[in-house]
Structure 1
Amino acid sequence: MPHIVKSTVLNAPTDTVWNLLRDFNGHDRWHPEVATSAIERAQASDKIGCVRRFKLKDGSELREQLLALSDLEQSFSYCLLDTPIPMFNYVAHVRLLPVTDGDRTFWQWESRFTTRPGDADGLTRMVAEQIYQAGFEAIRQHLKAAA
């Protein structure tokens, strides 16, 4: 079972980063792989159990469900419901922590999932680089542009 853990430090306070990441339907505004996103059934994007349906730039459509969200801990968890990618039982966690030296943010993004035999290495690299690392860089650029 692949277990991916990626982290970075951003030069912005956790409240600033949390305001961007907290919106479970906001990733189409900052992640370079996401073209469009909508919450199903017109639910609020911070309602536990809400489902986001989104399209990637390549036209693939995915559905993810919000499992937990904590403003106090600046964290959320979600799972993958539908995807054309052969990943199963995907559950991810995002957590922010303050770096008090310079009022910066430590951002950890991790997941576990299962795959078909032989697919684990390629899918692990894809998630780690094209999703997580690309997301880190996109937020970094978004914060620079807003400053």
Structure 2
Amino acid sequence: MVKVVRSTILKAPIEAVWEILRDFNGHDRWHPAVASSQIERSREADRIGCIRRFKLTDGAELREQLLALSDADTAYTYCLLDTPIPLLNYVSHVQLIPVTDLDHTFWRWEGSFDAPAARREDLMQMVATDIYDAGFGAIRAELGLEG
């Protein structure tokens, strides 16, 4: 099992960050890798068990399922159901924590998955850089924050 953990601090109140991230189907509005997204069967995007089907900018299609969502913990967990990339048994957890003395937000994003041995390192790097780090930068841009 491979585990990737990334974190950052955003110079924004947790409420502003959570408002964007809480929308399980909203990542096509801010993540640079996601071209379009929709929730299957017209379910609510915050309903546990809902599935988002989305296309990446390279044309690949993926499906992910919302496993948990907590407003009290400002966190959610999801898993990857279908992907052309060999990220097997992929589960990801996003959590926001207030940095109270500065009114900033600590964002921790982690994922664990199985991968073929020959692809393990490049898939770890892809998740860390192309998904998590790119997402951090995109949320900064969405909130109008610098670096």
Query: What is the CA RMSD across the aligned residues, in angstroms?
Result: 0.7
**Alignment match, 1:45:** 45
Unpaired runs of 5+ residues, structure 2, are: none
* TM-score, reference length from structure 1: 0.97
**Alignment match, 2:10:** 10
**Alignment match, 2:25:** 25
**CA deviation digits over 1:43-97, x for unaligned, max 9?**
0000000000000000000000000000000000000000000110000000000
Work out the CA distance in 2 between the residues paired with 1:124 and 1:100.
Answer: 32
Spell out the pairing of 1:87-126 with structure 2 (5 A cutoff): 87-126=87-126
**CA deviation digits over 1:85-136, x for unaligned, max 9?**
0110000000000001210000000010001121110000000000000000
The yes-or-no answer on 1:60 pairing with 2:60 is: yes
Q: After TM superposition, where is structure 1 displaced by more than 2 Å over at least 4 residues in a row?
A: none
Letter in 1 for 2:39: I
* Percent of pairs with identical residues: 61
The yes-or-no answer on 1:133 pairing with 2:133 is: yes
**Alignment match, 1:85:** 85
Work out the CA distance in 2 between the residues paired with 1:132 and 1:112.
Answer: 13
> Is 24-33 or 110-119 further displaced after alignment?
110-119
**Secondary structure of the structure 1 residue equivalent to 2:98:** strand
Report how far residue 36 of structure 1 moved: 0.1
* TM-score, reference length from structure 2: 0.97
